[in-house]
Amino acid sequence: MATSSGGLFDDMNVLGVIGYVLEKTRFIFLVPILNLLVNLCQVISLLLFIDAAYMAIVVAIVKIRGRTPQKVLKWESFKSDDVELAPSSNHPMVLIQIPIYNEKEVCQLSIRAVCKLSWPLDRMIVQVLDDSTDPHSKELVRLECKKWASEGINIKSEVRDSRNGYKAGALTAGMKHSYVEGCEYVVIFDADFQPEPDFLERTVPFLVYNSEIALVQAGWKYVNANECCMTRIQEMSLNYHFAVEQKSGSSIHGFFGFNGTAGVW
């Protein structure tokens, strides 16, 4: 009995020592680290709040003063009333890139919308960059490009042997073709975008008449925004990016990101 009791006492003693060491370790090392992280999160939250408040103030001032791009920057339509000028004489050469990857549900809609843009046909090149691996998707793209080529659209379908660099790699590879050298501006649309017919007429003049402007980023609309409560919430979140973050950055010539689609540079 004495031996058994002594063994039990020794085990409890060891567990007590381990618990004591863990407790001291928690107070000496873990608690200060957690406190530091909590304080750091508070500082970051404060900075985010200040940043959001600052952007909101900038947007409010811009709205009150009516400083829209059309009022602050020079913008003129390329359309001329001079009957002696050719219809396309005032329009710069534009390259429109459409990167596609297995997007059979929307690729035809995007190509169709781009080919219907209001722009002289001899001043526009549509470049479809098809990295699709799905045979059905590739066939849909091929047929759509063939259809618009037969209607007089200068459309090029480019297919790579590999997907090196993914979307960025496809866009870069597209710029290496010889026919691109004559283009003054580049427009990018993802395969799920359907630009309105006057997109180029509304955006390109900002670049032509304002040499200090490097790019024009357009806002986005969503075809299923009113489908349900969830899509409406998503629309509000995405609209905040354009209505506040992008607008404030552009207005004060601060950090301004290109969203990778629906833009001209």
CATH number of the CATH domain containing 231: 3.90.550.10
Is 88 domain-assigned?
Answer: no
% the chain with pLDDT above 70? 91
Is 253 domain-assigned?
Answer: yes
- Which structural domain, as residue segments, surrounds residue 163? 94-264
| Residue 223 and residue 132 share a domain | yes
- pLDDT tens for each residue of 166-192: 999 999 999 999 999 999 999 999 999
- pLDDT tens for each residue of 130-139: 999 999 999 9
- Over residues 49-71, mean pLDDT: 88
In the prediction, which pLDDT does 2 show? 46
Is 251 domain-assigned?
Answer: yes
Question: What are the two backbone dihedrals, phi and then psi, of residue 155, each rounded to the nearest 5 degrees?
Answer: -120, 135
Is 73 domain-assigned?
Answer: no
| Residue 11 and residue 106 share a domain | no
Is 86 domain-assigned?
Answer: no
Q: Which residue has the higher pLDDT, 252 or 51?
A: 51
In the prediction, which pLDDT does 204 show? 96
Helix, strand, coil percentages (3-state) for the chain, rounded to 5, are 55, 10, 35
Average pLDDT along the chain: 88
User: How many distinct structural domains can be found in the chain?
Assistant: 2
| Residue 207 and residue 98 share a domain | yes
Q: Indicate the pTM of the whole model.
A: 0.80
| Residue 62 and residue 99 share a domain | no
Is 72 domain-assigned?
Answer: no
Query: Strand 94-100's sheet: what is its strand order?
Result: 155-159, 124-130, 94-100, 185-188, 263-264, 216-217
Cβ–Cβ under 8 Å, residues 103 and 189: no
In the prediction, which pLDDT does 12 show? 60
Residue 165 zone, left/alpha/beta (φ > 0; ψ -120 to 50; rest): left
Q: Which residue has the higher pLDDT, 42 or 63?
A: 42
In the prediction, which pLDDT does 11 show? 59
CB atoms within 10 A of CB 109: 16
